[in-house]
Copies of this chain bind each other. A is one copy, B any other.
Amino acid sequence: MCGIVAYVGDKQAYPILIKGLQRLEYRGYDSAGVALINNGTHTYKCMGKVKDLEAHAKEQSIEGHIGIGHTRWATHGEPNNINAHPHTSMKGKFTLVHNGIIENYAHLKKELTSRGFTFQSDTDTEVLVNLIENIYLEQNVSAEIAVRVALSKVIGAYGLVISCEDEKDKLIAARKGSPLVIGVGESEYFLASDASPIIEYTDQVIYMNDEDVAILSKDDLVLKNIQNDAQKPKIQKIDLSIDEIDKGDYEHYMLKEIYEQPHSIGDTFRGRISIDKTKIFLGGIIDVMPKLNQAKRIIIVACGTSWHAGMVGEYLFEEYARVPVEVEYASEFRYRNPVINPDDVLIAISQSGETADTLAAIKMAKEKGATIIGICNVVGSSIPRETHAGVYTHAGPEIGVASTKAFSSQVTVLTMMAFMIGRKRGSLYDELYKQLIHELTLIPEKIEIILKSDSYIKGIAELYKNASNALYLGRGYLFPVALEGALKLKEISYIHAEGYPAAEMKHGPIALIDENMPVFVLATKDKSYEKIVSNIQEVKARNGKVIAIVTEGDETIKKLADHVIEVPDCHEAIAPLLTVVPLQIISYHIAVMRGCDVDQPRNLAKSVTVE
């Protein structure tokens, strides 16, 4: 959350910053701002999106070869002009963009206030920039030392870039908890929260580590840590093309990413399933296979959509690998005092690889001796660097804030892991193993078939676009899909949708059902088919509207439900990969019809680096 971009070099900074902020908007869009250093610091910032900032900065002086920019997801203080970044210190010495939360800001603010500082905004960031200025002026040290001393007093997370009026040719960056990537050009450096603002200028990057401090000028990069120990910059080549982050002909990134799924799931299993479809090989976890084979328990930690993928994983691991699995919200797991044993394996799932709570949960479990496996999408992100082993999802960049292809790729990885571990542990016999692998490889073409129903599904969306509430029901493998379907609708259309295991209806939520309530029921042919048919009857007995996702050719439910959406027949263990697609499509269309900003839903942001 919150996006940072910065430039130092010979080019004009402003266009680079604006383009970069647009690419980072998925990280927050409550407000945007830039500061350009050119005979003093010129700061332009306003509430709203980057396009509002552009309008605001029009006809202003946008000259400058050094600059910093920020797009905000509000934590402390509501989204408005004053709370927008960059923030300048009281005496104007420093200008700062910051991503993260300074947890002890109230204490620091009080101290600074007693020293005569006054504050314009409600932000923790303004406290930090004044703390730096206070140290700089009182202790009469360099900007760099002031930054390092200040950061040693701070509790919390940050990715930040700061400029100093007295040292106009340089920028200082620091990270702890929030990602920062340095792009290395010729006589120029870029800085950003991820590589997307950088890739058209250079493919050489340095991922900053926690507690790293970088001092950048046009021709020089110094990397050290807060304690002033020199750090060796590790330059990597990034493998990301402009095409991958382009919307193409699609109206929204979300739609593009829904349609990419046959391809992205294919990318997830490419090179990991043998050509004769008889074996799964996940190179990233090969070193921890002995641990996995002996694990008495697997703990999956994740947040949001990734948590739903984790729940699919629970069912798969328990059924095929015969190992007990517990799925935990990372935020809950880390703050209670869970029992973790050295023979436990913890799997952390995160698209961005930066999710703050998930990262903290990993660190805790690692300290207690558990083996940690990561399932992430963004290569080089923080979580893969903290784990013992991991499997990248290779879904490609996901820009839409509501996750779609990242979810299906996470489920694909978990499915492969469950089958592979099941086979190794001897709980999955060879014939079924091969059948399941074969079924998995058919998923991309089956999703292509579902995508052909787009306009039919759009017709159903039209009927329910004005709903104010919705329920999603599923059983077994499809219960997590119900949760995920509800989350999609909630996120982008602001309809209050909620998922439930179908049998729980009778224990409360059925009270909500009346003739206005659309109920989405995941009801493909599997071992709980008869039970879900009974649940549909219970909903219909209360006059609810039922939209059922069914196996093609199902006649029983067609007679009961108001609408059916067919998906191709498949083994129940991989049905989540198919059944989630029509739910993504229907959420997309409903949100578009309601005039919502599909790719940038209100209040939300991707890559949740805030706890």
Contacts and interface: CB of A to CB of B under 8 A. Distances in A.
A337 interface: yes
Given A77-B541, A476-B335, A608 B507 contact: yes
Interface stretch (A195-203, A260-268, A382-390, A510-518): A510-518
Contacts of A542: 74, 78, 602-603
A515 to B, nearest CB: 12
A339 B318 contact: yes
Contact of A319 (B79, B296, B297, B337): B337
Given A511-B491, A512-B490, A601-B511, A608 B506 contact: yes
Nearest to A296: B296
Contact of A324 (B297, B307, B336, B611): B297
A305 B506 CA distance: 11
B498 A76 contact: no
B506 A332 contact: no
Contacts of A538: 74-75
B504 A331 contact: yes
A432 to B, nearest CB: 13
B508 A75 contact: no
A324 B328 CA distance: 12
A208 interface: no
Interface stretch (A33-41, A236-244, A527-535): A527-535
A462 to B, nearest CB: 22
Interface string A327-353: 001111001111100000000000000
Interface string A14-27: 00000000000000
A543 B78 contact: yes
Contacts of A469: 468-469, 496
Copies of this chain in the oligomer: 2
A501 interface: yes
A103 B534 CA distance: 9
A566 interface: no
Interface range on chain A: under 10, 10 to 19, 20 to 34, or 35 or more?
Answer: 35 or more
A315 interface: yes
Given A469-B469, A611-B503, A315 B331 contact: no
B339 A324 contact: yes
A79 B510 CA distance: 14
A180 interface: no
Contacts of A506: 1, 304, 604-605, 608, 610
Contacts of A194: none
Contacts of A75: 534, 537-538, 541
A408 to B, nearest CB: 17
Contacts of A465: none
Most buried by B among A319, A534, A541: A541
Given A318-B338, A331-B503, 13 more contacts: A74-B542, A76-B534, A78-B541, A79-B541, A305-B507, A329-B501, A332-B501, A335-B528, A490-B512, A491-B508, A498-B498, A506-B610, A510-B603
Interface of A: 1, 74-79, 101, 103, 296-297, 303-305, 307, 315, 318-319, 322-324, 326, 329-332, 335-339, 357, 468-469, 475-476, 479, 487, 490-492, 494, 496, 498, 501-504, 506-514, 527-528, 530-531, 534, 537-538, 540-543, 601-605, 608, 610-611
Nearest first, the 10 closest Cβ-Cβ pairs linking A and B are: A304-B507, A331-B503, A510-B603, A74-B541, A78-B541, A324-B339, A469-B496, A487-B508, A303-B507, A491-B508
